[in-house]
Structures are given as structure tokens and as C-alpha cells.
Chains A and B, each alone.
Chain A
Amino acid sequence: METKEIREIAVRAGRIMLCSGAEIYRVEDTIARICNSYGAECECFVLPTGIFVTVYGDNIESMSMVKRIRERTVDLHRIELVNAFSRGLMNKPLQYEDALEALDDIEKPHDWHLAIRLLASGMIAFALTILFNGGWKEGLAATVISMLIYMINSKISDLGIFRFFEYFVSGIIVGAASLVAIWIFPALNVYKIIMGSIMILVPGVAITNGIKDALHGDITASLLRLAEAVYITVAVGAGVGFMLSAGLRWL
């Protein structure tokens, strides 16, 4: 197989993994493993926003590639598929076309149905509101708001406006909707409702993953992820705070 093709497969697999929210070391391992299984060496440097790879070897031409990564979500099933794919290559290297076809298969959308994801986001909000000492009434309000913002969020994502705008708008909606909730039922605690409903927005997992990257030695990637988490928090918090400080004074 030609270097170009090896590079193509390796970078593509790495890109799918990185876009699905895999850890940096896992992406680097995968790229190296794919190159090795085709008998080439590789040196790669992965950041959350891009992949830099050079494929080289004794009898082959050395080639480099830079791949920019723009969107990142969390999709654990895809990570598992690519992981299985790269391990499969170690045992039995596929032909170029077959490998690309397998990667195409992995990239096909396989999300859960939107209704199920909506229910799930509601369930998260309900469960965590009560887990963090809220009442079941606050839980119900948070459930509704959480489902609302999940829906709006996926619509905005389809439009493809920049990501922090999504978070800011979601924050504004959370603030507005919880004000409506306490306007109708004044007995509810507005902060408890907000906490439950922003649970699917706040970057708890991102902060943790950022520190995990640092422990693996990927310091640059870790700082980038932590910074991203801070900006997301600020975007959500600014949206919510804007609505609350306007609304609570007015109520």
C-alpha cells in the first residue's frame, strides 16, 4: 500500500475519534497503530483542534498531513467502533477501499432518535435536581426546561452558528424559562431549577477530561480543553445571569 493511502486511513480514523471526544492519547495511539499495521512508522501530534501526522518508514516515501478539527461532540459509540477497527487492522490489514468503506460505515449517523434523547435530557435534569437536594416540583420544572433547551440546541447546531452562541442562547432560555416557572409557581426555588436544567450544558466532563489529558502528559491539549470548559461556563452563566438580573428586579 502507498504511503498516501496509509496516511489517509490513519488520519481519517483519528479525525473521527477526535470529533467524537476521545482522549488525545487514544487518538495518537490509534493513528500509530494503524500506520504500524501497514508496516509504516509514524510521528503524530494531536491537539483538540487539529491533527499533525508524518508517516515514514525504511522503504517508503515520507509524507505529512495537517488536519483541522472544527466540531467536537461526545459520541462514545463511535470511539468504540474506531477502536475495534484499528485493532482489527493489526490482525488483518484491510485493502485501501475496504478500509475506507469501513470508516464510512462508522461515520454514518447512528444517533438515538431525537425523542429518546429529549427524554434522556429530561431524565438527567430530574434525577440531578433531586440528587442535589431539590424538591420534585423543581425537578419537574427542570425536566421541562432541559428538554426545551436540548431541542433548541440541536436546532441551532443544525444551522451551524458558532458554538458559544448556542451556549449563550441556551443560558438565556434557561433563565427566561425558570423565571416563567417561578412566576407561575412562586413557591419554587429558582436556583435549584436552574442548576438542574443547565446540567446538560455545563462542562463537568470536559473539565475532568482536561485534567486526564494532563496526567497523560498532553499538557497543551489539556490547557486547551480546560480553557474551552471555562468559556462554555462563562457563556452559559452569562446567558442565565443576564436574564436573572433583569428578571428578578422586574418581578
Chain B
Amino acid sequence: MTDILLAFASSFAGGIIFNIKKENLLWSGVSGALGWLAYSLLHRFTGDNTLSTFVGAAVVSIFSEGMARLLKSPATIYSIPGIFPLVPGIAAYTTFQYIMENKLSSAASKGIETLFSAAAIAFGIMLVYGVFRFASRLNEGNPGKS
């Protein structure tokens, strides 16, 4: 529970750093909290980092695309702060730290972990984006709307 609040706080504050306007800050925080909730639940049951990150990002993206359609604004406004607790920034840094300490095999495995979680987030977001776009194309019959 504390974790969810912390994820909310970090996405909310991330929203301020990324210059989102006031009305949307709350929703970007909620998006981060939902993503982290999905990630941590799945991580507890499966222990698989990449899969949990993928699902977490997909949840963030579903929420963002939904909000984007409700509030008529681009989905990135909610998804970029939303993935803030999930992104592998620390993993990227740790990779470099291992290289500096000359622990090359640890660096390689950490580097691969970084790439995989970044790819998992990107695929999670793009999958949902694709599905939403496909659905709206079926509905309206005119391409080019996002």
C-alpha cells in the first residue's frame, strides 16, 4: 500500500518536472500508481521482472489511452509520467557502475536487463496503442486519428 502511494508520488512529481498542467497531474499520478500496482502484484507471483514490467506498462497505456479519449489530449501526457517508476534508469546506471568496477560479466547481465525492461515497456505501450488505434479505425473508418 505504501508502495502504491510512493509510485503515485513519483509519477505526480514527474508530471511537474515534465510540465504537465494542473488538471492532468492527478491523473498522471494515478496512472503511475496503477502501473506499479500491476507490476508489483505480478512480480510477487511470478518473480519475472520483464513480464511484470510489460504488464505494468500495458496497464499504464490502457489507462492513458482511455483518459486521452475522455479528455481529448495526447496519451503521452499520462503514459510518460506513468512509466516513471518502471523505467530502467537505475539499471542503466548500475550497468555503467559495474563497468567502472571492472565487473564485466555483471555489467553484461545488468545491461541486458536494462534493454529488456526498456523493450518490455515500449512493447507494452505500443501493443495497447495499436489495439486502440485499430479499434478506432474500425469504428470511424478514417485513419490518421490517434
Contact = CB atoms under 8 A, between A and B. Distances in A.
A119 B25 CA distance: 15
A203 B90 CA distance: 9
A245 B100 contact: yes
A53 B126 CA distance: 27
Bin the interface of chain A by size: 35 or more
Contacts of A121: 13, 17
Contacts of B90: 132, 195, 198-199, 202, 204
Nearest to A241: B100
Contact of A110 (B9, B12, B19, B74): B19
A116 B17 CA distance: 9
Instruction: Give the dominant DSSP class at A's interface.
Output: helix
Closest 5 CB pairs of A and B: A204-B87, A204-B89, A202-B89, A237-B96, A211-B122
Interface of A: 22-23, 26, 29, 33, 74-80, 83-84, 110-112, 116-117, 119-121, 123-124, 126-128, 130-132, 195, 198-200, 202-205, 207-212, 214-216, 229, 233-234, 236-238, 240-241, 245
Given A207-B87, A240-B93, 18 more contacts: A75-B18, A77-B21, A84-B73, A120-B14, A121-B17, A123-B13, A124-B13, A124-B14, A126-B9, A202-B92, A202-B93, A204-B118, A205-B83, A207-B114, A211-B122, A212-B126, A215-B126, A216-B126
